[in-house]
Structure formats: C-alpha cells, structure tokens
C-alpha cells in the first residue's frame, strides 16, 4: 500500500519525505488556502519535493470549467493528478479528462455506488473519506472494503485511496481492506512509529552495550 501525505504544507512534506516512505501527496482547496499561496505555485513547489502522484483539486463546479481547470492543473507537472469532486458535473469532467489521458482522483466519495460512477467514467483514483463517515456515525472502512471488492469483482483498474485517515488503526484497516493507497497527515504517519516497548527495548540495548564496553575499558 502506498503512503501519501495529506497536506499542502511544504515543511510537513519535507519532514515526511526525509523518512523515505512517502509515495505521493494529496491536497484539497482547504489545504491550499491554509498555505496562502496560489494553487499553481504551491502545487509546483510540492512537485519539486516529491517524486510521486500529487493530487490538485479543481474549484469549478460546472463540467466545462472543471475540464479546463483540470487541463491547466495537469500542465503544471507530469505527476499532477487532477482531483474532481463526485458530483454530476464532476463525473462528466472525469470522463472527458480521462479520455484525454489525464489522470483523475475522484474525491468526496462516501458510498460504493458513487465509487462505481467514478470507475465507469475512467477515474485513476477513487477517494472514500473514512473519518468523515465516522464523524456522522457510519462505518467508513466498510465503504473502503466494499469498493475494493466491487472493483476486483468487475475488473475496474481504478485505485482505491483511503482518505480522511485519523489514526494508526485507520491505516491498518485500510491496508487489510486492500486499499492501494492511504493518505494521511504527517501527525498520523508519525504515530505509526510509536510503541513503548520499542523505546524501552532500545534504551535497554543501549544501556547493556554501554555498560559492557565501559566495564571492558575500566577492567
């Protein structure tokens, strides 16, 4: 399963990239707005930091405008994946952009049947939002599981990207569900490292080693 960083913050991206396990980045209009730089500039800067798929989302909501915005985003860098919301006009845009060979990540997906629409329109990636479904008392991971099953059953090549990940168990469950990608904030990626027995074990190893060599030196 690929690990994407879910942010437009360059410092977080640099920190994640240094870990050596980041395969791509997902952004959305909220993340871009937080950084205060125009979309194109920020996406270009992210592409300079990460050699992998970088999702950049359109802000138009009418198909012809989504299509021209998508084309412009795709021109920024060959690694850009155009992100399109799962609305009626969006699916028209997905069909048009995919037919031109532009890779599309269909976002704001909350049901397996919505995911079918995206796959039929030729989406490269579908993004079900797990955390936001849980926020309203639904089982978000079941949606990921069902989409993976549906796509396998019908042979759709669309990749399943588990989005809106809030903690390590989401990452584990997404991997077990067969998601191809999980996108997560740096905070969640960092949490994956944590275990008290790892820290305790390392402290013991180092103390034993130090003690043995100190004693050998003294002796």
Min separation Cβ 105 and ligand E4P, Å: 7
Paired strand residues for 56 = 82
Q: Where are the alpha helices (H) located in the chain, listed in sequence order?
A: 10-19, 29-35, 39-49, 63-76, 88-99, 112-120, 130-135, 140-154, 168-177, 186-191, 196-218
CB of 181 to ligand E4P, least distance (A): 10
The answer for residues whose C-beta is within 8 angstroms of residue 16's C-beta and 6 or more apart is 5, 22, 186, 189
User: Which residues are near ligand E4P by CB under 6 A?
Assistant: 6, 26, 28, 107, 127, 129, 131-132, 163-164, 183
Out of 83, 92, 120, 159, pick the active-site residue: 83
Shorter beta-carbon distance to ligand E4P: residue 148 or 165: 165
- Altogether, the residues listed in the chain come to a count of 219
CB of 27 to ligand E4P, least distance (A): 7
* Beta-bridge partners for 3: 182
Pick 34 or 120: Cβ nearer ligand E4P: 34
Residue (of 35, 32, 13) closest to 23 by Cα position: 13
Q: Between residues 98 and 164, which has the closer beta carbon with respect to ligand E4P? A: 164
Is 211 assigned a catalytic role? Answer: no
CB–CB of 183/26 below 8 Å?
Answer: yes
Alpha-carbon distance of 168 to 188, in angstroms, equals: 6
Tokens at residue 51, please?
Answer: 């050699």
Nearest CB to ligand E4P, comparing residues 131 and 178: 131
Least Å distance, CB 171 to ligand E4P, is 12
Please give the positions annotated as active site. Answer: 83
């Amino acid at each position: 399963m690929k690990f994407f960083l879910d942010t437009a913050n360059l410092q977080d991206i640099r920190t994640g990239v240094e870990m050596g396990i980041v395969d791509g980045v997902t952004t959305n209009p909220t993340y871009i707005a937080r950084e205060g730089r125009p979309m194109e500039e920020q996406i270009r800067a992210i592409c300079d930091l990460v050699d992998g798929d970088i999702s950049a989302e359109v802000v138009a909501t009418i198909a012809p405008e989504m299509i021209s915005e998508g084309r412009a985003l795709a021109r920024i860098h060959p690694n850009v994946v155009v992100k399109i919301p799962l609305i009626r006009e969006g699916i028209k845009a997905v069909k048009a952009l995919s037919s031109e060979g532009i890779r599309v990540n269909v976002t704001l997906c909350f049901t397996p049947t919505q995911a079918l629409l995206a796959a039929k329109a030729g989406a490269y990636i579908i993004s079900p939002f797990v955390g936001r479904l849980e926020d309203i008392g639904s089982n978000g991971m079941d949606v990921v599981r069902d989409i993976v099953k549906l796509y396998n059953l019908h042979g759709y090549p669309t990749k399943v990207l588990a989005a809106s990940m809030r903690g390590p168990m989401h990452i584990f469950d997404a991997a077990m569900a067969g998601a191809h990608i999980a996108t997560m904030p740096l905070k969640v990626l960092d949490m994956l490292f944590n275990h008290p027995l790892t820290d305790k074990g390392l402290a013991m190893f180092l103390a034993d080693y130090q003690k043995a060599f100190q004693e050998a030196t003294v002796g």
